[in-house]
A = this chain, B = another copy of it.
Amino acid sequence: MNASTSLRVRLPVLVAVMQAIILALFAMFVTYDDNANAKFQNNQTNPMDNSLYRDYPYFADVQVMIFVGFGCLLAFFRFYGFSGMVFNFLTATFSIQWAILIQGYFQFYHDGKIHLAVINLLNAEFACAVVLISFGAVLGKTSPVQLLVMALLEIPFFSVTEWAVLKYIRINDAGGSILIHLFACYFGLGVTFVLYRPTLNQGHAKEITCYNSDILSVLGTLFLWVFWPSFNSALTFKGDDQHRAVLHTFIGLSASTMTAFALSAVFNKRGKLTMADIQNVTLAGGVTVGASVDMMISPAAAYALGIMGCTACYFGYRYLTPFLARRMRIQDQCGIHNLHGLTGLISSTAGICAILLATEETYGPSMYQIFSHRAPPEGDPKLLELQKLIPGLKPGLGRTAQEQALQQVAAVFITIAASAVGGVLTGLVLKLPFLASPSDEDCFDDELFFDMPADFDSVEVLKPPVSCDEKGQTSPMDTKV
């Protein structure tokens, strides 16, 4: 039909090239981690000590979040449900493959090989979450080819930033508020800034939800909500650290959910609830507790963080998103700046406060495990003393709380700068002519990229019979007809 957006050549060529490259790189560089290598099994091996049993439950939960949770959440548009769910599937799958290689090179590469275990997949899913969050900024306005190219570029930008921050700045960010949420947010805003479509500021006839799509989207929210404690605790230390991460995430989400309902009702003129708030703002607490999720911040603080994050997120949706779209040329389709940016900033600040307030009195000697960069450096006699109390303790950098806090601040700024620049550059690439970018009119429409079932037309046809009844009803669609 529309030659410029046909996927017939573009998508297969891109996929074929990428699959060939990935297969070649897998063949050359990817081998099994010792935990997945039959050769390393011997008479000392207890199979149940395999790292699989520590990592797989969290991996499985995050899988549900990525594929089912995000997939349903992004299917909230009435005429864009196929695209929301299926492009999420495609983009996520590709992002994970690509991250296994790129992130693997930075984090799991030694002896000339990337050593593969479930922990790599788990890390790759976090990189994938970054791409999917950024995807939220441009939902409805991008072709699957553009999304794959975005993932192709974002994964390296993210992996380098993650590696540089973790290796050189060395921060505490167990729940990924800085590295995942802030990076994803500002990268996505960078992309959408470049892809600015002025006419869409007047709204689009298909930028609407329907009864079933709203329910599907809430279902996605619920899956994200339910498994978010696994997401935030997957990469913490095992034991009490992970236990706290689960507790704080649950409490934070729980608090933000209550607050979201209250705010949704109070600012609605007719005192009703708005489904978009239930779908998005309820989740703010999960991000807000992220940076301090494994620290001894107290359950009450997690509760307060949930309320604060939710409030910022709600007002962001209400005032900031329209402002950004009209004045700053930043059309943030799903409001990722509210759910991931503002909350990420609050979370980073809370993390810094928690670092400054941490004392050995509260944490005991395991403070030097959680705040690992504050541990005494190699050779320091205090290290040996601490290692008697916490056997596996690794030497650190001997930082003070203030030093660590400053590094956190630096990491926030560097992450935001790197991601924004990366996003803008990626946006420029996405404007290249052969990437099947939809026209303004064809945005938010599954029909552009899918063979549609017969009833898809009839959905639009629903209205005419009404007008023949002279009911004179109006709906958002009328602006188009």
Contact assessment for B263 and A226 in the assembled complex, using a CB-CB cutoff below 8 Å: no
Q: Which of A211, A212, A255, A453 has the most CB of B within 10 A?
A: A211
Interface contact B93-A265, CB-CB below 8 Å: no
On whether A240 and B35 interact (CB within 8 A), knowing A254-B93, A272-B451, the answer reads yes
Contact assessment for A82 and B214 in the assembled complex, using a CB-CB cutoff below 8 Å: yes
Cβ 8 A contact of A455, one of B78, B275, B461: B78
| CB nearest neighbor in B for A96 | B254
Interface residues of A in 275-294 (CB under 8 A from B): 275, 278, 282
For the complex, give the distance between the alpha carbons of A50 and B390 in Å. 16
User: Known contacts being A43-B391, A255-B19, is A275 close to B63, with CB within 8 Å?
Assistant: no
Closest residue of B by beta carbon distance from A120: B247
The CA of A273 and the CA of B451, in the complex, are separated in Å by: 6
Cα distance A144–B278 in the bound complex, in angstroms:
14
Known A22-B303, A86-B218; judge A240-B210 contact (CB<8 A): no
* B-chain residues with CB within 8 Å of residue A72 when the two chains form the complex: 219
Beta-carbon contacts under 8 Å, A204-223 to B: 208-216, 218-219, 222-223
A240 to B50, CA, bound (A): 7
- The CA-CA distance from A90 to B254 in the complex, in Å, is 9
Residues of B within 8 A of A15 (CB): 258-259, 261-262
Report yes or no: A454 in contact with B93, Cβ–Cβ below 8 A. Answer: no
Chain B residue with Cβ nearest A227:
B60
Q: How far apart are the CA atoms of A240 and B49 in the complex, in Å? A: 10
Asked whether any CB of chain B lies closer than 8 Å to the CB of A466, the reply is yes
7 contacts between A and B (CB under 8 A): A38-B240, A39-B362, A41-B366, A82-B211, A89-B257, A121-B247, A461-B465
